[in-house]
Chains A and B, each alone.
Chain A
Amino acid sequence: MSKHYWKSLAERDRDPAYVKSLADEFIEVPQLNDGDKSGVSRRSFLRAAGFAAAGGAFASCSPAPLKKAIPYLVQPEEITPGRAYWYASACGACTAGCGILTKNRDGRPIKLEGNPSHPLSKGGLCAVGQAAVLELYDSQRLKNPVSGGKESSWPVVDDAIRGQLERIKGSGGSVRFLTGSTGSLTARQLIAAFTASFADGKHVLYDALSASAILDAHEATHGARVLPRYLFDRADVIVSFDADFLGTWISPVEYTAGYAAKRALPALSHHTQIESCLSLTGSKADKRLRVAPSEIGLVLAHLANRLTEHDGLQALFTSLPPCPIDTADLNQIIDRLLSSRGKSLVVCGLNDVDAQYLINLINHALGNYGATIDVQHPSYQKQGNDKELYALIAQMESGKVDALFIHGVNPVYDLPDGARFAAALKKVGLVISFAERADETASLAHYICPDHHFLESWSDAEPVAGILTITQPAIRPLGATRSLAVCISAWMGFSRSDYELLRDAWRSSVFPRQTRETSYDAFWDKTVHDGHAAVDAVAVPVQAFRAESTPAVPTAKSANLALVLYPKVGLLDGRHAHNPWLQELPDPISKVTWDNYVNVSPALAQRLAVSDGDVLQVAAESVTIELPAHIQPGQHDSVISIALGYGRKGTDRFAKVGPQWLEGRPTVTDGGLVGKNAAPFRSFDGRSLQDWKPGVTVTKTGRRSELAATQTHHSLSVPERMRAANPEPRPMVQEATLAAYLKNPAAGAVHTEESATLWPGDHKYTGARWGMAIDLSACTGCGACVVGCQAENNVPVVGKDEVRRRREMHWIRIDRYYADRGEGDVDVVFQPMMCQQCGNAPCETVCPVLATVHSSEGLNQQVYNRCVGTRYCANNCPYKVRRFNWFDYPHEDRLQNMVLNPDVTIRSRGIMEKCTFCVQRIQEAKAEAKREGRTVKDGDVQPACAQSCPAKAIVFGNVNDPQSAVSRLKSDPRRYRVLAELNVDPSVGYMRVIRNREEEKE
């Protein structure tokens, strides 16, 4: 018998309401009592209907529209209308600095993809990076500089700022530059030159998602304030304390690529995750231990003690409280670590200097420095310094700062004491923000000098010492925005373009760091073409490890209930809150969209008598927040957690997102925001920003708020009336332990009877047959494929209310399954699910108008203009991957429409749609092959999902080509097909999950 996997607690417990809802075609969305009303009255509906009828009548009388064709006057040499062009660049959506390729069609970037030759991201790109292109076309971005709250122009603003700066210079005043971690070498140099031109100038960096403690700890142990580069691709044993390195921690795409490289069978790295909330990384761990954040220091201390003992050294701590985790578990971790010295990696996501100091000690004792941790070539992805930030705030409060420049950060929003920062801002004579919109901080600035979107600007980045990337513009700036570098040059009195500034900076400080190219022009051209360059790292004054100070003895803090604040994969620190794609991306674990919420473990929920959707009031000291509860299996029983990044100013714009209809409810209520800001619960302990808080209280408010969670939507469950015949749950996901796999590669296979057929195959597939293989062991569920598909295939955003009604339109969803492991812990499996392109497709046989038919290459074609919307096909689809357009989803934002892919039809109301295996890319590859007089090679066609996958879990190709990667995987003993027993002959194979565990299954 296989393990019982379930998608939600309601499904596991066969909750009657849930069972009933499975059979219901339409979801009754309960009326909410938090004041939300439907936006349309009967009267206005009738009025609109009347107008629509009249308008339709008039429109049908007009002749076919006259179409104009306007060619270029002088066509640029390299441009052919209708052809896409790709430019190498660097992603600026977070500080990780992944390499991207920008797809340009007719002068506008429409899709971002990972740059396969990039040494860090290796062709992957996360969901945030994929979605960044939409932000370029955000009509609410500032188009002009703002002075005193009013739109102004650059000459006016420049004159005013220059005048004030002269005065400050004359009086010997102080100037501070506050930025996020900027990988840009040019920007850093310019900021340094600018601040140096004042008697008292300084550049302060901080990150909302701070790693300041890691840098501080390295200052103590290695004599240099650096963030080392973690080499997951060299680690055989990984122990992670609360570090979500596959999801949100520092550089997830880079780490995912490295992690996946060490998870290639038959050798598997061993991954232990010690954490309080179920994270993306924890869900992939071979061993997961639930430990509250207050206890992590103690576990580390025990670990450090045992390791030093083992090496015959004096124990670090003489007396310690008992270890919060089982001795057996601790012994196992220690044995594993000791057996792979120099090949292990211990990381910690807590922004706590003491914990990080112990981590350094442990890694040093294990000989990991120089092996899996590189301090000689450190990472510049996080450079923030929390102490300097708070020193700056104190200076501002005492009126000692005359001018403050803020770039890339939003302290009023994301600091625990944003109000304090806002008050301190009032004491600064000149505040200049470079924000793209008047956000929480920028709206308090005297001037806003909006920076370009990264797709509009020349810039550079050095994410890791010695690896440089160039960001090149893919479109002219859409508004009169200006880059940070140009602003500084204008205020310093040598106005230059960002291209000139970048080129000059590289000529003087990057070109000399390499010897391969002798001509600067050749070096520059090659770098712009490739998107990255490897040069010598600037030497970091790292000293040998020294352990001078002994950290304070950690105590298991006896907090009743702790609150953990975590970033979500889509929204991170909230900088992408204006991106509807990311708002509607289901959280990889909770599958909730459009909201943050209080995660509560099932046991705690039972104790508090809380059910999903109950609005809870969480209070600590003077801070309170009211959010709906979400019951999260795998959560620590004395820890609740809330996502950061919500409640951003301006997100009330999403009130009208999605279709507006009679019973439709707005995504946010009047004047409300998407989610609530939990940053006030953060704290600064004098050394670093803490993302968890002990001693919180939770009370029920009695109100309810329905979360828009997709976890039970499109379930592949057996209908209740057919359950009697076969009560066994279907083995959607299959798994085995490494030990079992090594004995028998087909271990974990569930015997499924593939019915023999009397008839010869309907389809001959004489040419190609397209197929896909998905490695469930590699898939981390990060959601990059979901957003990649959305961007490629013009998938609309439907809004919170429609998601509640199971009407989200994503063509690829990631089914997340849980299985009980006992003691409240769960195993997690992610299963990307898209159209399986069945050979005997049930959808094809029921379409009365032949709108879905089989192609000669094995695709289930969906012909939009034939579809009449009977929805029979969706009902007959066992995988529930078909999506129906209940509405004409809004395309009124002309600017946002520029992101649409012209190679994919915009589907209108009443049409069924689904994954096409990116048939437009297949056709493009075939056309190009024909043009070059060859046949399509393996790898020519990469669907958007496969291309973007940071773990390279998805392989696509021609199954009829025996040399193709996908047909080699077809004979992999791990391969199985979901619901193969239905004899639908799906074209997608899944590779069984293999966990690095000893125990055999029962």
Chain B
Amino acid sequence: MNTRTITNLLLVGIALSILALLPKLSGFHLPGNQQDYQPAQPIAFSHRLHAGELSVQCLYCHSGAERSRHAGIPSTSVCMNCHRFVTTTFGAVRAEDELAQKEKRDPRRIVSPEIQKIYDAMALDASMNPDRSKSIKPVSWTRIHNLPDFVYFDHRRHVNVGVECQRCHGPVETMERVTQVTDLSMGFCVNCHRDATKNGLNGKTVSASIDCAGCHY
């Protein structure tokens, strides 16, 4: 085989590889960039319902955002503040009430399978008391917003000057399942920092640092 043949073979091979990879290239990300990441969660928690329809404040559950670098994922006990009483959708409760009335019996307690997972995690029985025969098991959520390596982000500095959560996290209140909307790259951060320093934030002048050591240390 002479050199020419080998070169041609190689070229054909490269061309085929590119063709094969092309459809995937639209999803190409730099390492550490998880834009559009939308994993399934152990509990099908709907931000659209809670944050959108029911208008629960972000900070009600993610209370660490004001005080700590991490916004934090609420502990199961926070869920229980409401879900001690709310066991399923309002529609399902009303349908059961109507059915019970028709069948002339007491309405049964209906628990949605997703909410049941909270009770299972905390090992609660039907009357919301700890069930000693079961063991507790914390909910293992899949982390969606991962910053690239070697960077420190502090929620409290942003929340306390009034940066909206949606600025980085997108319209979470419309999402059934949360997805990472922005790419959370350094360019994304620095553009916003430059803009805020130049134009102010919510009408206030701010000085958002673009020092490396602001985030990298």
Contact = CB atoms under 8 A, between A and B. Distances in A.
Given A80-B72, A81-B70, A919-B217, A68 B211 contact: no
Given A865-B149, A931-B160, A923 B72 contact: no
Given A71-B139, A73-B121, A73-B122, A919 B75 contact: no
A976 B161 CA distance: 40
B75 A71 contact: yes
Interface string B145-157: 0100110101011
Interface in B167-217: 207, 209, 211-214, 216-217
Interface stretch (B47-55, B60-68, B100-108): B60-68
Given A903-B152, A905-B217, A923-B152, A69 B143 contact: yes
Most buried by B among A69, A863, A865, A920: A69
Contact of A861 (B136, B146, B216): B216
B142 A67 contact: yes
A592 B216 CA distance: 34
A73 B75 contact: yes
Given A81-B64, A82-B64, A931-B67, A71 B138 contact: yes
Interface in B43-92: 63-64, 66-70, 72-78
Contacts of B35: none
Contacts of B32: 64
A952 B169 CA distance: 45
B89 to A, nearest CB: 24
B141 interface: yes
A875 interface: no
B150 A865 contact: yes
Interface stretch (A157-165, A439-447, A825-833, A849-857): A849-857
A71 to B, nearest CB: 4
B141 A69 contact: yes
A71 B122 contact: no
Most buried by A among B121, B122, B214: B214
B26 interface: no
Interface extent on A, as a size class? 35 or more
Given A73-B76, A82-B69, A930-B160, A919 B213 contact: yes
B127 interface: no
Nearest to A857: B211
B152 A82 contact: no
A203 interface: no
Contacts of B143: 67-69
Contact of A68 (B76, B78, B140, B214): B140
B216 A72 contact: no
Interface string B20-46: 000000000001101000010000000
Contact of A67 (B72, B146, B161, B213): B146
Contacts of A904: 217
A552 interface: no
Most buried by B among A853, A903, A923: A923
B138 A70 contact: yes
Interface in A911-965: 916, 919-920, 923, 926-927, 930-931, 933
B169 to A, nearest CB: 15
A927 B150 contact: no
A978 interface: no
A851 to B, nearest CB: 9
Contacts of B211: 855-857, 859, 861
Contact of B216 (A73, A75, A865): A865
B75 A927 contact: no
Contacts of A69: 73, 140-143
Most buried by A among B138, B211, B212: B212
Given A855-B211, A856-B209, A70 B66 contact: no
Nearest to B217: A919
A72 B75 contact: yes
A855 B216 CA distance: 12
A916 B75 contact: no
A80 B67 CA distance: 8
Contacts of A905: 150, 216-217
Given A75-B77, A865-B149, A859 B213 contact: yes
A919 B150 CA distance: 14
Interface extent on B, as a size class? 35 or more
Contact of A864 (B70, B138, B150): B150
A756 interface: no
Contacts of B140: 68-70
A83 interface: yes
Interface in A56-85: 64, 66-75, 80-83
A965 B63 CA distance: 36
B77 A81 contact: no
A70 to B, nearest CB: 5
A392 B161 CA distance: 69
Contacts of B139: 70-71
Contacts of A75: 75, 77-78
A767 interface: yes
B150 A923 contact: no
Contact of B64 (A80, A863, A903, A927): A80
A853 B212 contact: yes
Nearest to A926: B157
Given A905-B217, A923-B214, A927-B156, A71 B73 contact: yes
B161 A74 contact: no
Contacts of A930: 156-157, 160-161
A83 B68 contact: yes
A74 B75 CA distance: 6
A920 B212 contact: no
Nearest to A850: B212
A445 B56 CA distance: 63
Most buried by B among A68, A856, A857, A927: A927
A68 B39 CA distance: 11
B23 to A, nearest CB: 17
B122 to A, nearest CB: 6
Contacts of A856: 209, 211
Contacts of A74: 75-77
Nearest to B68: A82
Given A905-B217, A931-B66, A66 B73 contact: no
A903 B73 CA distance: 20
A580 B63 CA distance: 40
B35 to A, nearest CB: 12
Contact of A855 (B68, B138, B156, B213): B213
A67 B146 CA distance: 8
A603 B126 CA distance: 87
A864 B213 contact: no
A863 B66 CA distance: 27
Contacts of A933: 160
Interface in A863-913: 863-865, 903-905
Given A71-B141, A931-B156, A864 B76 contact: no
B189 to A, nearest CB: 14
A66 B39 CA distance: 10
A901 to B, nearest CB: 11
B76 A71 contact: yes
Contact of B213 (A80, A82, A861): A861
A334 to B, nearest CB: 56
Nearest to A76: B75
Contacts of A865: 149-150, 216
A933 B66 CA distance: 12
11 contacts: A71-B73, A71-B141, A81-B70, A82-B72, A83-B64, A83-B68, A856-B209, A859-B213, A864-B150, A919-B217, A923-B152
Given A69-B142, A82-B72, 17 more contacts: A64-B146, A67-B146, A68-B140, A68-B143, A69-B73, A69-B143, A70-B138, A70-B139, A71-B72, A71-B76, A73-B136, A75-B78, A80-B72, A861-B213, A905-B217, A920-B152, A931-B157
Interface of A: 64, 66-75, 80-83, 767, 853, 855-857, 859, 861, 863-865, 903-905, 916, 919-920, 923, 926-927, 930-931, 933
